[in-house]
């Protein structure tokens, strides 16, 4: 399971730091983005990934010109991708890393907290069949955007909530729906939304075995869960 392996890996990294003389408090510090001089260096070569989508066979990196892109971070990208790949109007989905400082990072490097990347899902969609607002509704309702650098038991910078926008229209829509959903969340007793909304950074495709992971492994780990609060997109209040 991903949660177990990640917990083991993170503990190993922290113990190695402690053995090198860091304070015992370092073992219990909250996840934080690495500084420019702390981030892992990465590499020039892209990490090998799948050529085609496991479900629909479409190329992962060849998106027709008439389609638009969206990018979301909602926690473990295995479960997040499954929320989007079957939506009518979604052409293809892919998981990867974005929002950090390390070029072409590996999964292990991202999990170490040394890259600053988020686990994200890239969604290519046909705006004539599904709107960006409809994708935002899935985003807001599909996870808890108030948890900071975590989703449930998954803790780390790579699990933060994020909307990475392509163009001003997407940014305006994301900001507006954030305000609307905050009202609903506050009424339900939740705290402030911690979602970062910014222009889409470079998307680095994750390794082959991560692509459409839960289609390949139907009983695989999925730590994603929403708040049960409905986002009022498209609802006449």
pLDDT of residue 2: 56
Q: How confident is the prediction along the chain (237 residues), in pLDDT tens digits per residue?
A: 454 444 444 444 444 443 444 444 444 467 899 998 899 999 999 999 999 999 999 999 999 999 999 999 999 999 999 999 999 999 999 999 999 999 999 999 999 999 999 999 999 999 999 999 999 999 999 999 999 999 999 999 999 999 999 999 999 999 999 999 999 999 999 999 999 999 999 999 999 999 999 999 999 999 888 999 999 885 443
What is d(CA 153, CA 224) in angstroms, rounded to the nearest whole number? 10
List CB contacts of 122: < 8 A, sequence separation 6 or more: 69, 70, 71, 93, 94, 95, 96, 203
pLDDT of residue 16: 43
Q: Is the dihedral of CA 195, 197, 198, 203 positive or negative?
A: positive
- What's the pLDDT tens digit per position in 103-152? 999 999 999 999 999 999 999 999 999 999 999 999 999 999 999 999 99
DSSP string, 175-208: HHHHHHHHHHHHHTT------EEEE----EEPPG
pLDDT of residue 83: 97
pLDDT of residue 13: 44
Catalytic residue among 76, 111, 222, 231: 76
> What residue has token string 């808890």?
144
Write out the two tokens for 202.
């470079």
**pTM value?**
0.87
Write out the two tokens for 118.
């988020």
Active site residue 111: no
pLDDT of residue 228: 96
The rounded percent of the chain whose pLDDT value lies above 90 is: 81
> Cα 202 vs. chain centroid, distance in angstroms?
13
């Amino acid at each position: 399971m991903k949660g177990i392996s990640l917990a083991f890996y993170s503990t190993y990294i922290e113990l190695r730091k402690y053995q090198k003389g860091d304070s015992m408090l370092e073992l219990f510090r909250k996840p934080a983005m690495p500084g420019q001089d702390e981030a892992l260096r990465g590499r020039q070569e892209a990490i090998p990934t799948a050529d085609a989508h496991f479900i629909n066979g479409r190329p992962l990196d060849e998106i027709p010109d008439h389609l638009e892109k969206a990018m979301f971070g909602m926690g473990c990208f295995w479960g997040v991708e499954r929320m989007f790949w079957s939506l009518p109007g979604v052409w293809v989905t892919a998981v990867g890393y974005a929002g950090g400082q390390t070029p072409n990072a590996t999964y292990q490097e991202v999990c170490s907290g040394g890259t600053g990347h988020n686990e994200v899902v890239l969604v290519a969609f046909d705006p004539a069949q599904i709107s960006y607002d409809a994708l935002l509704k899935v985003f807001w309702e599909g996870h808890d955007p108030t948890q900071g650098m975590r989703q449930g038991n998954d803790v780390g910078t790579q699990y933060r909530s994020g909307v990475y926008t392509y163009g001003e229209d997407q940014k305006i829509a994301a900001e507006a729906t954030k305000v609307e959903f905050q009202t609903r969340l506050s009424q339900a007793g939740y705290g402030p939304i911690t979602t970062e909304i910014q222009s889409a950074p470079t998307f680095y495709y994750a390794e082959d075995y991560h692509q459409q992971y839960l289609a390949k492994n139907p009983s695989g780990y999925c730590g994603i869960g929403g708040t049960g609060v409905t986002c009022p997109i498209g609802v006449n209040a």
